[in-house]
């Protein structure tokens, strides 16, 4: 099972991507870039570097930095909305996005989408996040299946597998 590890406010979040075969996450925003450990819920690194010159928009690739220097990371979000991170693990855990529906009172005149996680058996599902005033950019599991994230235009939500 998975548990919520942390939520970070990140204004102008644009794209996220897991470093290959790990639970380290690269976050790109209009305010800079960062690295997060999605097993512990910790922010490892952040700077206000203008990363655009290191970004290959046609493939949504970014060159690694700090502890991930020398690596190339595939990102998901604003620049490739038709591609997505894995929504399911080999063990059968799955992230599900709802159709737009009225928000909770007193904001029911606004439509929101929610993300739930379900696991074997698929009968039980747990609420993860909703978009509300922020647009979803990307969500999905790491290649290891040990963590998943939900990234919106204003926050990063991290969940990790319980030991």
Residue 133 has pLDDT above 90, yes or no: no
Rounded (5°) CA angle 116-119-121:
125
Cα–Cα distance list, 162 to 2, 5, 50, 145 (Å) = 6, 10, 36, 12
pTM beyond 0.75, yes or no: yes
Are the CB atoms for 1 and 147 separated by under 8 Å? no
In this prediction, residue 163 has a pLDDT band, given cuts at 50, 70 and 90, of low
pLDDT on residue 81: 84
Q: Which carries the bigger pLDDT value, residue 151 or residue 133?
A: 151
% of residues, the chain, pLDDT over 70: 98
Q: Per-residue pLDDT averaged across 51-69, rounded?
A: 95
Domain boundaries, the chain: 2-161
């Amino acid at each position: 099972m998975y548990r919520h590890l942390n939520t970070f406010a990140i204004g102008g979040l644009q794209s996220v991507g897991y470093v290959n075969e790990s639970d380290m996450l690269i976050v790109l925003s209009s305010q800079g870039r960062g690295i997060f450990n999605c097993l512990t819920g910790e922010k490892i690194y952040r700077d206000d570097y203008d990363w655009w010159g290191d970004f290959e928009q046609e493939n949504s690739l970014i060159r690694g930095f700090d502890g991930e220097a020398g690596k190339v990371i595939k990102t998901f979000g604003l620049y490739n909305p038709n591609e997505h991170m894995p929504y399911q693990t080999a063990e059968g855990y799955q992230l599900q996005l709802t159709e737009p529906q009225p928000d909770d009172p007193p904001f029911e005149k606004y439509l929101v989408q929610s993300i739930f996680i379900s696991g074997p058996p698929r009968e039980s599902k747990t609420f993860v996040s909703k978009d509300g005033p922020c647009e979803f950019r990307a969500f999905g599991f790491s290649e290891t299946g040990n963590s998943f994230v939900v990234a919106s235009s204003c926050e990063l939500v991290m969940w990790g597998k319980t030991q």
